[in-house]
Amino acid sequence: MSYHFDHSKPVFPEDAASKDYATSLDAADPLAVFREKFILPSKANIACKKLAKPNLSSEPCIYFCGNSLGVQPKATAKYLEAQLDTWSSIGVNGHFTNLEDSPLKSWQLLAEQAAGSMCKIVGALPDEVAAMGTLTANLHLLLASFYKPTSPKHKILMDWKAFPSDHYAIESHLAWHGLDPQTSMVLIGPNENEYEIPTEKILSSIDEHADEAALILLPGIQYYTGQLFDIQKITAYAQSKGLVVGWDLAHAYGNAELKLHDWNVDFAVWCTYKYGNAGPGAMGGLFVHQRHGAVDYSEGEDAPKFRHRLTGWYGGDMSVRFKMDNKFKPIPGAGGFQLSNPSAIDLAALCASLSIFDETSMTELRKKSILLTAYLEYLLLKDTTDESRPFRIITPTNPDARGAQLSLLLRPGLLQNVASRLQDAAIICDKREPGVVRVAPAPLYNTFAEVWTFVQQFKAALDS
């Protein structure tokens, strides 16, 4: 087994298209042990239409859908059981009691436990991250604080194919302020017949609208194309032109290396159920840069000055949270944006998934992911030409401009048959109408041999 990197992109030897080579990559993979920390759906289970326990004796399916929903960590059952046992054994005392042998802190400290692990995934300080809500709810909360339109500066810039929930959120905030999306929402798209949006085009759009723009919201990774944006460069440039900068990291969290604090990002939101593996509809997270979360007591303890936000009692400092005197004293940092007592059950599932991330680093995960995705690309393109292939990879070829996902745009009319054939072969990946298959080998639990098998089945489906 051998490969080498050229400008961060792996280059493979002549024999790399063999299954033996794929298995040799797996044998040399230092992260291979993490696969055993997950329960992968089995071929028997995905063919069954009746609720059943996981069939661990059956061969696992090939699960390349972590960009939509990650698989279940084995730790999840343990963490949920600990939470249920806490509730059933000591009831309300679970709010303040740290139990020996429990992987979880008391309920009042549980959100901080989750934030302490999540901050490492997104490259933030612990007090810049809060575990709370869901992605769109958190986006609404942060827009309420960060979007302050004026008569000259009211526009919001976003990408041409934003996830619909982001689009709806932006439209609703514009309407809330009495503005028309037709004039106050600017969509930045790719050049004609392309899917990747060049960074320079984003910067030129910022230039074009700088005098009228208040905020830019972009996805860290574009859900449809899989493009990873240059967060650092775009953030710095937009801020130099007077824009507030927010990022939707739904597809970047647990997937790309992020340095939100160092990059000076104003705010960000994410979900945790994709590459984060915290469960369907799991609790989300948000980032607020330290400079926006500061609390100023220069005018006295009873007159704190802080960035305006929609407030709730759980954002109040724990030292006064239960005084019930209606004097809001916010937690410094992102924690001060919390609203209500969070679900301990949801936090338990989130902490279970985070316990796995605590055993490695995004640097190590990203290193494997780059190789895993490059191997997928290599096999898909090998022995073909642009003219002969009935599909096009619309994800950037540069590893620095993509995460784990490759989006395959099929020729018209092929999607349904290909998707059906992959399902029959017990390969789970995501399809998006009218013709895209999104394939996302996740470094925590997917293998190079699975990539090899997928490509064989995918090409066979195209030929059928």
> Does the annotation place 341 within a ligand binding site?
yes
Over residues 272-294, the pLDDT tens digits come to 999 999 999 999 999 999 999 99
- Looking at residue 55, its pLDDT comes to 83
Q: Residues near 133 by Cβ (< 8 Å), separated by ≥ 6?
A: 141, 283, 284, 286, 339
CA dist list (Å): 95 to 39, 99, 134, 317, 344: 31, 11, 22, 15, 10
Domain check: are 280 and 425 in the same one? no
- Evaluate if residue 302 carries a pLDDT over 90: no
Domain check: are 398 and 325 in the same one? no
Does a structural domain hold residue 284? Answer: yes
- Evaluate if residue 150 carries a pLDDT over 70: yes
> Does the annotation place 38 within a ligand binding site?
no
Residues 249-277, mean pLDDT to the nearest whole number = 98
Tokens of 123: 């490259």
Asked which of 321, 339, 355 is the last residue of a domain, the reply is 355
Domain check: are 136 and 120 in the same one? yes
> By three-state DSSP, how is residue 23 classified?
helix
What does pTM read for this prediction?
A: 0.95
Among 436, 451, 459, 450, which Cα is nearest to 68's? Answer: 436
Asked which of 297, 325, 355 is the last residue of a domain, the reply is 355
Residues 102-113, mean pLDDT to the nearest whole number = 96
Residues 351-356, mean pLDDT to the nearest whole number = 98
> Does the annotation place 248 within a ligand binding site?
yes
Task: Provide the number of structural domains found in the chain.
Answer: 2
Does a structural domain hold residue 73? Answer: no
Domain check: are 272 and 138 in the same one? yes
Does a structural domain hold residue 165? Answer: yes
Alpha-carbon span 90 to 148, nearest angstrom: 46
- Looking at residue 54, its pLDDT comes to 87
What is the residue whose two structure tokens read 């490695």? Answer: 360
Domain check: are 295 and 425 in the same one? no
CA dist list (Å): 248 to 36, 147, 179, 405, 432: 30, 15, 22, 17, 20
Confidence band, pLDDT 50/70/90 cuts, at residue 47: confident
Domain check: are 351 and 367 in the same one? no
- Evaluate if residue 376 carries a pLDDT over 90: yes
Over residues 67-87, the pLDDT tens digits come to 999 999 999 999 999 999 999
Residues 204-223, mean pLDDT to the nearest whole number = 98
Confidence band, pLDDT 50/70/90 cuts, at residue 242: very high
Does a structural domain hold residue 75? Answer: no
- Looking at residue 319, its pLDDT comes to 85
Residues 229-255, mean pLDDT to the nearest whole number = 98
Over residues 151-164, the pLDDT tens digits come to 999 999 999 999 99
- Looking at residue 320, its pLDDT comes to 82
Tokens of 207: 């230039």
User: At 392, phi and psi to the nearest 5?
Assistant: -135, 130
For CA atoms 132, 137, 140, 144, give the dihedral sign.
negative
> By three-state DSSP, how is residue 336 classified?
helix
Q: Where are the beta strands (DSSP E) in 366-429?
A: 391-393, 406-410, 427-428
- Evaluate if residue 321 carries a pLDDT over 50: yes
> Does the annotation place 96 within a ligand binding site?
no
Residue 281 backbone class (left: φ over 0; alpha: ψ -120 to 50; beta: rest)? left
> Does the annotation place 446 within a ligand binding site?
no
On the 0-12 / 13-18 / 19+ scale of CB atoms within 10 A, 375 is buried
Domain check: are 307 and 420 in the same one? no
Does a structural domain hold residue 89? Answer: no
> Does the annotation place 313 within a ligand binding site?
yes
Range of the domain at 217: 109-355
> Does the annotation place 136 within a ligand binding site?
yes
Domain check: are 150 and 276 in the same one? yes
CA dist list (Å): 400 to 232, 263, 358, 361, 374: 12, 16, 24, 18, 11
Pairing, β 155-159 against β 213-219? parallel
Does a structural domain hold residue 225? Answer: yes
182: CATH: 3.40.640.10
Domain check: are 241 and 325 in the same one? yes
Alpha-carbon span 393 to 426, nearest angstrom: 22
Residues 325-333, mean pLDDT to the nearest whole number = 92
User: At 406, phi and psi to the nearest 5?
Assistant: -115, 130
Q: Residues near 404 by Cβ (< 8 Å), separated by ≥ 6?
A: 66, 67, 255, 275, 369, 372, 373, 440, 441, 442, 443
Domain check: are 255 and 225 in the same one? yes
Over residues 390-417, the pLDDT tens digits come to 999 999 999 999 999 999 999 999 999 9
- Looking at residue 403, its pLDDT comes to 97
Confidence band, pLDDT 50/70/90 cuts, at residue 1: very low
Does a structural domain hold residue 133? Answer: yes
Domain check: are 276 and 380 in the same one? no
Asked which of 355, 373, 403 is the last residue of a domain, the reply is 355
Does a structural domain hold residue 115? Answer: yes
Residues 410-426, mean pLDDT to the nearest whole number = 95
38: CATH: 3.90.1150.10
Domain check: are 301 and 447 in the same one? no
Alpha-carbon span 385 to 394, nearest angstrom: 15
Confidence band, pLDDT 50/70/90 cuts, at residue 48: confident
